[in-house]
Chains A and B, each alone.
Chain A
């Protein structure tokens, strides 16, 4: 018997209705909230991050209960930040202490010659690999809990960071300068691999919701031109090809970290119904989403970006004020605004801060006059 309390059906049905309206571009009566509560769900249940990251089924239960507890959208994505490394021979370490998240200990390829040997895995082979197994366990648990509200997602990540997870971020960055042809070769294979992975989810669950996350190819590491050359154009190709290969229920573009100079270059990316654009920071401050809305506001929903440092270190009063400010400034975006944090809700954010965030959305998020 599950430890989970019975689902609050009213919350769940309202959440599904809201997500449905959002994804179909229909009007909503309230601003929904999705502060990306993931590892934080472990903290508020007095579980460790190790529990959360090593037991996908438990992780999904924790996320669901946290969503219900806070009243966020019932969108469950159990993932971690070093997907698709160990499947190709790398070694990752799950957190042994209270603080850390999974991290890469050893990259699969050390030299350009070794990297040349990187091969795309077909579906049959990938199914045997650890990341897919954990991801599938998370999807199965989500499906069981959410039934018709289940959104089968695939975390294909940033195309460039996937290359970095094969050879190390330093080498990947250095090689954009010294061995660009090799990086392009690896990126083409990563795109191929990602399309296969998206199709695998769609084949198994009927459709796929594509989640990308632009992490390393950003404004603090690369010139905008390089961001385009070594990531954005490949991301575009990956999404376009995936949409042709499988029924797609939308794309989550999570531009993590500083994308102040390169986010406008994402303008040409496909935005099928259900797409969310999430631009986190411009330099050290959360990006101005009114500017983002000028480019994407008529194409897709925009996810909010309350500073994660504020969520972690601020007081509930400060979080409330900032969230209120954001909601009032952004709530009328044409294709919808979802209140959110600039990245995953920090695992050890005080619950009172998340509650203050939700209260501000509730108090100021009424739509339609």
Chain B
């Protein structure tokens, strides 16, 4: 089987949410001496990109994305031990979490899955994350982007506090800040001084990529 066939199988099985098929394709990639990073970026990512596009067009929904993510993680489990150190960090590092006071994390999890599928290094802080923790982790991991989410209007103020805290600590310009979640909108992002707002998981991943490029270009 050619390397191209293996990559296509990775993409197809991710798209179909075929966990066993995807794991097998990843094993075949390793057996064929394919670099793990290539398998992720040209196989899994390709599949997740299609998933993401279909979600954006309303052709796929959250249950189907979760199935695809499950398949992708099965492949990543096989591929990660072979991944050259620092490859994901080279693509970009995103510290992600749901802000303090909010336990709703399904949207954040979708973004994380799509980011990982796109080959980025993702530090998932989970839900109900203390604001300090976002900054501390971003500094330690030399993150490009802090991605913060909230579903509830009650916790919108936490986002505002996060921005203020970044300013108070003198690190606002070190990171790009992306916000999202049902309670947020573009006007709110502008009001609090975030760099960008993601309307949904698919858009958030595209924007994160742009923000990483901007940060690395010193913009």
Contact = CB atoms under 8 A, between A and B. Distances in A.
B151 to A, nearest CB: 9
B62 interface: yes
Contacts of B171: none
A277 interface: no
A184 to B, nearest CB: 14
B32 interface: no
Given A99-B101, A103-B128, A257 B63 contact: no
A222 interface: yes
Contacts of A308: 153, 183
Contacts of B104: 103
A313 B191 contact: yes
Contacts of A95: 101
A312 B66 CA distance: 32
Contacts of B63: 173-174, 176-177, 221-222, 226
Given A220-B200, A226-B61, A309-B185, A347 B154 contact: yes
B64 interface: yes
Interface string A147-179: 000000000000000000000011001101110
B174 interface: no
Q: How large is the interface on A (under 10, 10 to 19, 20 to 34, 35 or more residues)?
A: 20 to 34
Contacts of B155: 99-100
A283 B157 CA distance: 23
A32 interface: no
Contacts of B128: 100, 103
Nearest to A230: B63
B67 A177 contact: yes
B185 A174 contact: no
A36 interface: no
A321 to B, nearest CB: 15
A346 interface: yes
A49 interface: yes
B191 A99 contact: no
B188 interface: yes
Given A97-B101, A173-B63, A177-B64, A309 B183 contact: yes
Contact of A99 (B62, B158, B199): B158
Contact of A174 (B58, B66, B103, B184): B66
A328 interface: no
Interface string B125-160: 000100000000000000000000000111111100
Contacts, number: 86
A279 to B, nearest CB: 16
B188 A313 contact: yes
Interface string B67-92: 10010000000000000000000000
B153 A347 contact: yes
A344 to B, nearest CB: 8
Contact of A313 (B61, B102, B187): B187
Nearest to B69: A174
B152 A101 contact: yes
Interface in A348-366: 348
A175 B154 CA distance: 30
A103 B151 CA distance: 12
Contact of A170 (B101, B106, B182): B106
Nearest to A97: B101
Contacts of A178: 67
A58 interface: no
A309 B187 CA distance: 10
Contacts of B153: 308-309, 312, 343, 346-348
Nearest to B200: A220
A104 interface: yes
A171 to B, nearest CB: 9
A100 B102 contact: yes
A318 to B, nearest CB: 11
A284 interface: yes
Contacts of B200: 220
B8 interface: no
A93 B103 CA distance: 10
Interface string A302-332: 0000001100110000000000000000000
B154 A100 contact: yes
B27 interface: no
Contacts of A313: 156, 187-188, 191
A101 B154 contact: yes
A312 B70 contact: no
Interface in A95-141: 95, 97, 99-101, 103-105
Interface of A: 39, 49, 93, 95, 97, 99-101, 103-105, 169-170, 173-174, 176-178, 220-223, 226, 257, 261, 284, 308-309, 312-313, 343, 346-348
The 5 closest A-B pairs by CB, nearest first: A103-B103, A100-B101, A99-B101, A346-B153, A177-B63
6 contacts: A99-B101, A101-B152, A103-B103, A104-B103, A308-B153, A313-B188
Given A99-B154, A173-B62, 6 more contacts: A93-B103, A97-B101, A99-B158, A100-B102, A222-B61, A346-B156
